[in-house]
Structure 1
Amino acid sequence: MADDIVAVTRAEWHGEARDLIELATSERTVAELLRRGLEWLTRVVRFDLATLFLLREGKLVSVVARGPLASERVRRHELRLADFPSLRQALETRRARAFTSEDHSHGDGDPFDGVLDLPPGHACMVVPLCAAERCYGVLTLDRTECETYPREVVDLVEVYGQMLATSLQEAEQKSNFERLHRREHAHARLLESQLGGDEVGVLETSRAAPVRELALRARQVAETDTPVLLLGETGTGKERLARAVHRWSARAEGAFVTLNCAAIPAGLLESELFGHVKGSFTGATRDRAGRFQMAHGGTLFLDEVGELPVELQAKLLRALQEKTFEPVGSDKTVRADVRILAATHVDLQEAIRQRRFREDLYYRLSVFPLRLPPLRERLEDLPLLCAFLLEEQSRRTGRKGMEVTADGLARLAAYDWPGNIRELANALERATILSRRPELGAESFDVPVRLSSPVRSAPVPLSLAEGAVPTLEEVQRQHILRVLGLTQGRLYGPGGAAALLGLKPSTLQSRMKKLGITRLEQYVATPPPPSGK
């Protein structure tokens, strides 16, 4: 036995087992794992050739070879398992076997016949590589000396074969997990696109200068890890903008995790944010990760953060400042690298005065506030928004090629949209369901007509901002200009400016001349792109 086995300490055995497992879970390939396995085997037992065969469709295919007899022919060698009952028996019994001279003369032949000129009766050992329910292949050891490996050596290498098989199993599981992760990540990105992040294209091409400025500032802050507070009325598209900021950031490949603070009972919010351990409360039957852990390396979007209970705000503040927290029921600190985006329609300054929101948390969240304007302040974007929303809905409803006509746009523009873009999307979806034609005219929409809304939503004149009251002529001129912009300069016919204003075309022309409104062509905007293209 002293001639066949190399002295190795128990510590070295444990160290090699640990190294193999770490190698299996590292970024290296299976080929590197197998090469390292044979390299360490030279420190355990003497051989002239060590070969690793992996099972592939009923064949044992050589993948790695070490030792003086290793050659390119050996590395390309293949064996049909059906031709070697002794190898098949080793895999079935999961026991290593040393071949004797009797086996070589009366058995199923040497696996390297025709490849190596080994003497009859040479030392030969076959070690199965099996873990759990899988057999991955065999390890063969050969020496040119005509003797048999002692049982003690065979048992030792059998244990090593089990270690190597376990490492192969770890590597295979890691590879499968990474493949599933890549597939799920690609699926998640597709869903994000379908959920509306592409609306930022409408922001960047908006006909309203404040909206374009908003998109520019959002792109600038996306390049940092600075917390962003998204403000605006309900339905203005705060989550869409948050998804855009995430996609523009260096964390785009990470997770985008959302939590609506107003949609979850206060008693469960802490668990949702930070997770919990088994037994921490009734119903906690297992450990569960919170949104912070899910968003590690990515972005966490806290919608309606103004509804967060005061008692939970201190723990959120600590998580933001130190990037650490404790799950519910645990005394262990968890670290999470998360970029925070928050949104609310609540007046946080008023909430601070009423002691419903912590001032220090407000300043932590509002490092870079972005306020989304309501739809009534960007009605010139109606054509673009309608085209985008109809295209988005077509992927769900199958109604392709739908578009809003000029009089339909005029009807939509005569409403002040308290529900903003969300309400507009609902109105468009109802219209596509009820309409039998691809053209959605004024009759397709059942929204209330409020002709006074353009006046209320018109840009505030400079004189009014300075405290002066505008004249009646200024108000009329502003109102007519807005309606002309909505109808793209069209005066006559259904949906024309005269019809919307309730005037005869000749009366409108006369009033326009009196107010100094000329050159109708300046109100003709580029039409929105056709739906579905």
Structure 2
Amino acid sequence: MGDENTPLGAPQLAREAKDLVELANTEETVSELLRRGLDWLTRIARFDLATLFLLREARLVAVAARGPLANARVRGHVLDLAAFPMVRQALETRRARAFTEEDHSGEGDPFDGVLDLPPGHSCMVVPLCSGERCYGVLTLDRSECETYPQTVVDLVEVYGQLLATALQNAEQRSDFERLHRQDHEHAKLLESQLGGDSEGVLETSLSPAMRDLARRARQVAETDTPVLLLGETGTGKERLARAIHRWSSRADHPFVTINCAAIPAGLLESELFGHVKGAFTGATKDRAGRFQMAHGGTLLLDEVGELPVELQAKLLRALQEKTFEPVGSDRTVRADVRILAATHVDLQQAIAQRRFREDLYYRLSVFPLRLPPLRERLEDLPQLCAFLLDEQARRTGRRGMRVLPEALARLGAYDWPGNLRELANVLERATILSRGPELGPQALDLPTHVRAPEAPAEKLAEDKPGKVPTLAAVQREHILRVLALTKGRIYGPGGAAQLLGLKPSTLQSRMKKLGIARQELFIIEGPT
């Protein structure tokens, strides 16, 4: 403990300041900071009671106390500033003051009725102010009838300023962490709204191919292995990427996407790796790239097949070494990022045409996942329609929409070249056109026919008439699709016979004629 006649020198005071700053940066709560701050006060001045009051409107509320006279009544003590002008003056002037017996003659002692202190006892009030804010006061009391020396008052005043600064830092840190938690929860909510319940749709799919895909995706999600998502445009590659991220240990960190085909080649490097001020015309300040934004989380390189060749080498290095240099900088930046890549481009063909680096391909395609087109998973149409309508309802507010069985049959007869994206557009148009909550066939704005992709002349020459499907084969395929929609049910409302406009006996006779065996119905219905 310091002696009043030998106050702490500058080196020790500097150590105290450093201790308080470290305390403010390490303690989890403001109350712990105040408690330990009082413990350190014993190194500076003698006291029988040290009390910390925090300002609550026009009152001072005791929150911590130390010393032989500290008790429960002291720790619950409240002072009305209007009754103690001297204390209020100390706050207004931001100057510490040692009180004498004469000072208390007009307004009484702050601890009257709480402690039995002798008249003329040592008393000091130290304001706790930092910046534009006053947090409260620190009071020191001794039973001896001797005024604190001015040297001690000055020293404790400096200590009070340090404590107030540490208190301000701790409070700001607490506020920052609270805002960070709120932002994190908000980001997760937005992520959930953007991605929807993609995981549930994947894992409850009726398509064996989709269920196997979901199983493999969940397995690889537990690792940091790069995943290459393949499939036609609109099949839901970004949805699958979001599901992999949410299944991974990085789920609480950012999920960042960049569409390599949507950004001009000249700006793509800056978007990926960031840039420093002055790197190019218009670079008025430093800017972080997607790699830095995704640090600790997942980065989806969408349409990676469109990445310019000249940028592929830098991307390869970033994947291999997890380091890169922002545009215009020679400073190496490290980013811990899990990479997912998606493309509808045939990368093997792009490699043969020297549009894509083979070494980058092997770095990205450690674990390829191919999403089947919608026409190969029509058994999921009812579930997908419900999912997409619910997703649209969160955006448009139009809830309770559902697709009637007759409309599902019409959707099942379409080829869906645009896959899930086209289905979402068709359903959104239908909700606009329909006045009620039920979407029937008349609400579906579907093309009357789908033009087959043009084939090269030499390929047309090779085609044989025998490869054109027979009418019976087309009928068989259509009946199987409708049976899949009804889960094998032939009779009753919404059954396959009603959807096809046939009598159940007629449908059964046609099924027998087309060779649709009971085993196929068992596969459609699933085991009971």
Q: TM-score, normalised by structure 1?
A: 0.86
Alpha-carbon distance between aligned partners in 1 of 2:524 and 2:208, rounded to the nearest angstrom = 17
Taking a change above 3 Å as real, the CA distance of residues 269 and 123 of structure 1, as seen in their structure-2 partners, is farther
Alpha-carbon distance between aligned partners in 2 of 1:303 and 1:6, rounded to the nearest angstrom = 70
Equivalent residues of 1:261, 1:269 under 8 A apart: yes
Alignment-derived partner of residue 481 in structure 2: 483
Shift of 1:322: 2.7
Equivalent residues of 1:256, 1:300 under 8 A apart: yes
Alpha-carbon distance between aligned partners in 1 of 2:120 and 2:101, rounded to the nearest angstrom = 4
Equivalent residues of 1:298, 1:337 under 8 A apart: yes
Equivalent residues of 2:296, 2:337 under 8 A apart: yes
Shift of 1:96: 1.4
Equivalent residues of 1:130, 1:137 under 8 A apart: yes
1:250 correspondence with 2:259: no
1:389 correspondence with 2:398: no
Alignment-derived partner of residue 121 in structure 2: 122
SS of equivalent residue, structure 1 residue 104: coil
Alignment-derived partner of residue 292 in structure 1: 291
Alignment-derived partner of residue 531 in structure 1: none
Shift of 1:367: 1.6
Shift of 1:507: 7.7
Alpha-carbon distance between aligned partners in 1 of 2:50 and 2:348, rounded to the nearest angstrom = 74
Equivalent residues of 2:405, 2:499 under 8 A apart: no
Paired letter, 2:446: V
What RMSD over aligned residues (CA atoms) do the two structures have, in Å?
3.2
1:16 correspondence with 2:16: yes
Equivalent residues of 1:94, 1:130 under 8 A apart: yes
Equivalent residues of 1:207, 1:380 under 8 A apart: yes
Alpha-carbon distance between aligned partners in 1 of 2:26 and 2:416, rounded to the nearest angstrom = 55
SS of equivalent residue, structure 1 residue 203: helix
Equivalent residues of 1:6, 1:43 under 8 A apart: no
Equivalent residues of 1:411, 1:495 under 8 A apart: no
433-442 or 382-391: which moved more?
Answer: 433-442
405-414 or 272-281: which moved more?
Answer: 272-281
Shift of 1:317: 2.6
1:63 correspondence with 2:72: no
Alpha-carbon distance between aligned partners in 1 of 2:353 and 2:524, rounded to the nearest angstrom = 49
Paired letter, 1:328: V
Taking a change above 3 Å as real, the CA distance of residues 327 and 210 of structure 1, as seen in their structure-2 partners, is same
Paired letter, 2:41: L
Taking a change above 3 Å as real, the CA distance of residues 148 and 277 of structure 1, as seen in their structure-2 partners, is farther
Alignment-derived partner of residue 164 in structure 2: 165
Deviations 1:208-247 (A, max 9, x none): 1010000011111111122222111111111111111111
Equivalent residues of 2:379, 2:481 under 8 A apart: no
Alignment-derived partner of residue 83 in structure 2: 83
Equivalent residues of 2:406, 2:499 under 8 A apart: no
Shift of 1:258: 1.9
For residues 287-326 of structure 1, the aligned pairs below 5 Å read: 287-326=286-325
23-32 or 375-384: which moved more?
Answer: 23-32
Deviations 1:371-405 (A, max 9, x none): 11111111111111011111111222222221112
130-139 or 515-524: which moved more?
Answer: 515-524
Equivalent residues of 2:256, 2:294 under 8 A apart: yes
Shift of 1:332: 3.3
Deviations 1:483-510 (A, max 9, x none): 3425535779999978998999988665
Alpha-carbon distance between aligned partners in 2 of 1:367 and 1:5, rounded to the nearest angstrom = 74
Alpha-carbon distance between aligned partners in 1 of 2:103 and 2:27, rounded to the nearest angstrom = 42
353-362 or 483-492: which moved more?
Answer: 483-492
Alignment-derived partner of residue 178 in structure 1: 177
Say how many residue pairs are matched: 510
Alpha-carbon distance between aligned partners in 2 of 1:250 and 1:130, rounded to the nearest angstrom = 44
129-138 or 256-265: which moved more?
Answer: 256-265
Alpha-carbon distance between aligned partners in 2 of 1:147 and 1:206, rounded to the nearest angstrom = 84
Alpha-carbon distance between aligned partners in 2 of 1:510 and 1:144, rounded to the nearest angstrom = 108
Taking a change above 3 Å as real, the CA distance of residues 302 and 70 of structure 1, as seen in their structure-2 partners, is same
Paired letter, 1:172: E
SS of equivalent residue, structure 1 residue 105: coil
SS of equivalent residue, structure 1 residue 52: strand
Shift of 1:137: 0.6
233-242 or 250-259: which moved more?
Answer: 250-259
Alignment-derived partner of residue 103 in structure 2: 103
Q: List runs of 5+ in structure 1 lacking aligned partners.
A: 454-467, 527-533
Alignment-derived partner of residue 25 in structure 2: 25
Alpha-carbon distance between aligned partners in 1 of 2:399 and 2:136, rounded to the nearest angstrom = 55
Alignment-derived partner of residue 460 in structure 2: none
328-337 or 245-254: which moved more?
Answer: 328-337
Shift of 1:438: 2.0
SS of equivalent residue, structure 1 residue 146: coil
Taking a change above 3 Å as real, the CA distance of residues 279 and 411 of structure 1, as seen in their structure-2 partners, is same
Paired letter, 2:477: H
Equivalent residues of 1:197, 1:243 under 8 A apart: no
SS of equivalent residue, structure 1 residue 195: helix
For residues 339-488 of structure 1, the aligned pairs below 5 Å read: 339-450=338-449, 475-476=473-474, 478-486=476-484, 488=486
Taking a change above 3 Å as real, the CA distance of residues 376 and 87 of structure 1, as seen in their structure-2 partners, is same
Taking a change above 3 Å as real, the CA distance of residues 452 and 273 of structure 1, as seen in their structure-2 partners, is closer
Alignment-derived partner of residue 137 in structure 2: 138
Shift of 1:523: 8.3
1:93 correspondence with 2:93: yes
What percentage of residue pairs aligned between the two structures are identical? 75
Equivalent residues of 2:125, 2:138 under 8 A apart: yes
Shift of 1:473: 9.1
Deviations 1:248-276 (A, max 9, x none): 11122222222222222223323322333
Taking a change above 3 Å as real, the CA distance of residues 281 and 123 of structure 1, as seen in their structure-2 partners, is farther
Q: TM-score, normalised by structure 2?
A: 0.87
Alignment-derived partner of residue 222 in structure 1: 221
Equivalent residues of 1:47, 1:67 under 8 A apart: yes
SS of equivalent residue, structure 1 residue 408: helix
SS of equivalent residue, structure 1 residue 169: helix
Shift of 1:450: 4.5
Paired letter, 2:316: L
Alpha-carbon distance between aligned partners in 1 of 2:309 and 2:383, rounded to the nearest angstrom = 41
Shift of 1:307: 2.2
Alpha-carbon distance between aligned partners in 2 of 1:5 and 1:242, rounded to the nearest angstrom = 70
Alignment-derived partner of residue 530 in structure 1: none
Taking a change above 3 Å as real, the CA distance of residues 281 and 165 of structure 1, as seen in their structure-2 partners, is farther
Alpha-carbon distance between aligned partners in 2 of 1:173 and 1:395, rounded to the nearest angstrom = 36
Taking a change above 3 Å as real, the CA distance of residues 512 and 258 of structure 1, as seen in their structure-2 partners, is same
Equivalent residues of 2:59, 2:79 under 8 A apart: yes
Taking a change above 3 Å as real, the CA distance of residues 216 and 490 of structure 1, as seen in their structure-2 partners, is closer
SS of equivalent residue, structure 1 residue 246: helix
